[in-house]
Amino acid sequence: MKDYKGYLIDLDGTMYKGSEVIEGAIEFIDYLNKHNKSYLFVTNNSSKTPQEVADKLNDMGFNTSSEHVISTALATSGYISEIDPGASVYMIGGSGLKSALTEAGLEVKNDEHVDYVVIGLDVEITYEKLSVACLAVRNGAKFISTNKDVSIPNERGFLPGNGSLTSVVTVSTGKTPIFIGKPEAIIMNQAIEKIGLSKEECVMIGDLYDTDILAGINSNIDTIHVQTGVTSLDEIKAKDVLPTYSVQNLFEVIK
């Protein structure tokens, strides 16, 4: 296996499952820290701040920091602020998304007269929140969704993901949003820029083909599929475009 300088790493299904650490994950991050390898956790979860993500990892036994996290919340705020600084936003989502938008200098408003509608995962979703989003999009607001995941893994099973919430607004208004998260190139390009390396020097690691592996493929970087989460090895073998590598766990990546 190629010795990469930069690693873009999925979380759920790759580092942990719910509250359980996946075999080899802590040892892999320790290896990266010891050998001064650059890495970023690339997550479609917009509800948590980078510090909250890092705190969860450290509580589970990892040794990392918020500087090693890029979320769809950060990628979304970066995308909007770059093309439309100071824009007004109506958002559906958690504290992580709100913090990212406000820290990027965007105005978060609670009405339908805004420049953008941004939808992220919101476990306290209501009919009223969706109604305001629909009205704003109908009024001409640009429509952005942090990611298209229709379901998310949980100890209880698979629960509705942000893509499911987004679809309500799409169906009601007939407008398709710009998606930011994996497998789209927007978050990946920001991650590669943040890590400061060329695409040839980086690799994307994840368990789910339709998000993690396709994100790497769509961004023209190498990929490592780990057989510890959603997509099985048999399912991988049936794909038209294969990952660069598929490993049983991250012990196989440690040199």
10 annotated binding-site participant: yes
Q: How far apart are CA 8 and CA 244, in angstroms?
A: 14
182 is in an annotated binding site: yes
203 sits in which H/E element: strand 202-206
**Residue 149 annotated in ligand binding:** no
> Among all residues, which ones are annotated catalytic?
10, 12
Distance CA 169, CA 43 (A): 23
Is 48 annotated as belonging to a binding site?
no
Residues in the chain: 255
Nearest alpha carbon to residue 207 among 18, 54, 9, 33: 9
End-to-end CA separation in angstroms for the chain: 9
List the Cα angle 126/128/133 in 5-degree steps. 100
Query: Cα–Cα distance between 248 and 163 in angstroms, integer?
Result: 29
Which residues carry a binding-site annotation?
Answer: 10, 12, 182, 207
Binding residues for Mg(2+): 10, 12, 207
Per the annotation, binding residues for substrate are 182
